[in-house]
Structure 1
Amino acid sequence: MSDSAAAAKKAFGIRLRDIRLDANLSGRELAVRSGMRNTKISRLEHARQNPTETDIRQWCAACGVPHLIPELIAVLREIEQMWVEYRREMRAGQVHIQSRSTPLYESTRLLRAYEANMVPGILQTRAYTVAVLTASARLHGTPLTDVETAADARLSRQHLVTAGNGLNNYSFVIEHGVLEHGFGGDAVMEEQLDLLLRVTRLPNVALGIIPPWRERTIRAGEGFYLFDEQLVRSELWSGGFRTRRPEELAFFVRLFAHLREMAIYGAAARALIERARTSYAQTQETS
């Protein structure tokens, strides 16, 4: 579980404890009134067990605060959505995962994205996307049969960036290592870097690269996507973190601002991309 999801779960347990204390109830008294075991009450308050919606209703009724039930259930559902296991998600197939995100990208007016290890999905070429999705499928032991279709589903939203319709704006920050992590091999990377060069000249896109020599004010970390200031999504090895909690959104807005300050843009960024592209081209010539 991500640090943010774990912290939210712990905070929810503290909220339940505070409701009990405000009602002047001991754990044993709450157990009698709610019908729960005293040990369960302790586990819920210390975030060692996830509450159910029924637990929330019983807790609030026993503490005399039934008006808090809708609010707490909404928060509980939000916490449950903060951590999504990839294996469970991928049972529906990669096509489903890619297709369902398209409406979100279409409705987002400002997408801020940071990646440390790969090109942001909406900027990937088809061959690069196939290489990335193939690697993911092999890691999680899922079939490779839908990779090509899933790649098409991902690329179906790329026009939102390249068309420059004035409605969708993008701010990307990537680590320099993204240019060196050769998904798909030299030819695929050369094509991918060509696309990044074109993207740097689009009026609706800001593409920044954090160079390796830049003095860092914050460490490189997990990639994340901030959709307006409504949703943040981050992908790790074994699962995906996502939330709409205002305090989390505010944190990632600040984080992105720090990362953006370390990045270089325009001609300076294109020089780094050109250098990496030339390296891949030379490798092809000598192989």
Structure 2
Amino acid sequence: MPASPSSSVQAARKAVADRLRELRRDAGLTGHALAKRAGWYKSKVSRLENAVTPPSDDDIRRWCAACQAEDQAADLIAAARSADNMYVEWRRVQRTGLRRLQESYVSLYERTRVFRTYCANVVPGVLQTHEYATALLRSISQFHETPDDVADAVEARLARSARVVREGDHRFALLLEESVLRHRVGDAETMAGQLGYLLSAMAFPSVSLGVIPFSAERRMWMIETFTVYDDEQAEAELLTARVNVTAPTDVRQYLKAFGEFSRLAVHGAEARALITAAIDALE
């Protein structure tokens, strides 16, 4: 079972909180004494030490100054920022629209050689058609109430996908639940075009596409959509946020889950038959 994304984030935040507590104890200070030196209420010290409230950069600097450990501030700030970047709220990265979010992935996509993606809800972005991406991103924009730059976001997504799928040394192992083929994003024509493109994409040298049939005897339950970039980073998509996992133990859990899903999936002719059946069902 892959580690819960939220538990990985909390563990990283707790590690920072534990280091703050150690600094206070090494300085021989009580929580009340530290709060007085930093100009805070005592309750703030408790919240920071128990990882209830993530510390700001200024919080860490004041804490270290109070403990006469200013040399520890830079490392603690870096650790806190790393923990904060693990859990990124969509509203934070979508506040100016969706285009910049699409563009923010370019560097990660270009340096990744092997992509392993499991999707339980929608077609992976790297294989989306223009019409499908437009329908999907428009629904996301409306739900999250972001500025409407859907047209630009779609162009950015498709341009990014074209570069990594058709150019360079990249490989994609993609696994879809059969429900993805049946869940309509946009109208019937949009879905027919998207499913047809999946059939075409199966011929791409860089793409391995598998489908987990409804009839598969489950040894692994459906979980959130996730991608593992090489063997170094996993990203899970939640309703309100994306979670970036870099701890080796946690990344291995996602790789293990991907392996389990791979054993449930069908490929080649069997996968094409499922996609074709989904197209026929649109009529």
SS of the residue 1:156 aligns to: helix
Conservation of the 8 A alpha-carbon contact between 2:227 and 2:236 = yes
SS of the residue 1:158 aligns to: helix
Counterparts of 2:71 and 2:211, CA distance in 1: 49
Conservation of the 8 A alpha-carbon contact between 1:224 and 1:234 = yes
Residue 188 of structure 1 corresponds to 190
Letter of the structure 1 residue corresponding to residue 260 of structure 2 = H
Counterparts of 2:221 and 2:158, CA distance in 1: 30
Distance of aligned partners of 1:54 and 1:88 in 2 relative to their CA distance in 1, 3 Å threshold: closer
Counterparts of 1:246 and 1:37, CA distance in 2: 38
Range that drifts further, 31-40 or 5-14: 31-40
Query: Is 1:137 aligned to 2:141, yes or no?
Result: yes
Query: Is 1:221 aligned to 2:223, yes or no?
Result: yes
Distance of aligned partners of 1:52 and 1:88 in 2 relative to their CA distance in 1, 3 Å threshold: closer
Conservation of the 8 A alpha-carbon contact between 1:161 and 1:170 = no
Match of 2:156 among 153, 156, 165: 153
Letter of the structure 2 residue corresponding to residue 252 of structure 1 = Y
C-alpha displacement at 1:243, in angstroms?
4.1
Letter of the structure 1 residue corresponding to residue 156 of structure 2 = A
Residue 96 of structure 2 corresponds to 92
C-alpha displacement at 1:55, in angstroms?
2.6
Structure 1 runs, 4 residues or longer, greater than 6 Å off? none
Conservation of the 8 A alpha-carbon contact between 1:161 and 1:204 = no
Match of 2:10 among 3, 6, 16: 6
Conservation of the 8 A alpha-carbon contact between 1:113 and 1:120 = yes
Distance of aligned partners of 1:39 and 1:182 in 2 relative to their CA distance in 1, 3 Å threshold: same
Residue 173 of structure 1 corresponds to 175
Distance of aligned partners of 1:188 and 1:216 in 2 relative to their CA distance in 1, 3 Å threshold: same
Conservation of the 8 A alpha-carbon contact between 1:162 and 1:199 = no
Counterparts of 1:234 and 1:8, CA distance in 2: 16
Count of residues in Structure 1 that have an aligned counterpart in Structure 2:
279
Conservation of the 8 A alpha-carbon contact between 2:175 and 2:209 = yes
Distance of aligned partners of 1:22 and 1:215 in 2 relative to their CA distance in 1, 3 Å threshold: farther
Counterparts of 1:254 and 1:68, CA distance in 2: 37
Question: Mind listing any 5+ residue stretches in structure 2 that lack a counterpart?
Answer: none
Conservation of the 8 A alpha-carbon contact between 2:21 and 2:49 = yes
Counterparts of 1:142 and 1:69, CA distance in 2: 36
Counterparts of 2:257 and 2:69, CA distance in 1: 37
Q: How does 1:1-287 map to 2 (within 5 A)?
A: 2-21=6-25, 25-31=29-35, 36-63=40-67, 66-144=70-148, 146-160=149-163, 162-163=165-166, 165=167, 167-280=169-282, 283=283
Conservation of the 8 A alpha-carbon contact between 1:60 and 1:68 = yes
Letter of the structure 2 residue corresponding to residue 186 of structure 1 = A
Counterparts of 2:191 and 2:152, CA distance in 1: 21
Question: Mind listing any 5+ residue stretches in structure 1 that lack a counterpart?
Answer: none
Counterparts of 1:224 and 1:25, CA distance in 2: 44
Distance of aligned partners of 1:66 and 1:169 in 2 relative to their CA distance in 1, 3 Å threshold: same
* 1:127-185 Cα distance to aligned partner (Å, 9 max, x none): 000000111111112344x212211111112224542x460111111111100111112
Letter of the structure 2 residue corresponding to residue 122 of structure 1 = V
TM-score of the aligned structures, taking structure 1 as reference length: 0.86
C-alpha displacement at 1:23, in angstroms?
5.3
Conservation of the 8 A alpha-carbon contact between 1:226 and 1:232 = yes
C-alpha displacement at 1:85, in angstroms?
2.3
SS of the residue 2:236 aligns to: strand
C-alpha displacement at 1:30, in angstroms?
3.9
C-alpha displacement at 1:95, in angstroms?
1.7
Letter of the structure 1 residue corresponding to residue 130 of structure 2 = R
SS of the residue 1:128 aligns to: helix
* 1:88-147 Cα distance to aligned partner (Å, 9 max, x none): 322222222222322321221111111110000111000000000111111112344x21
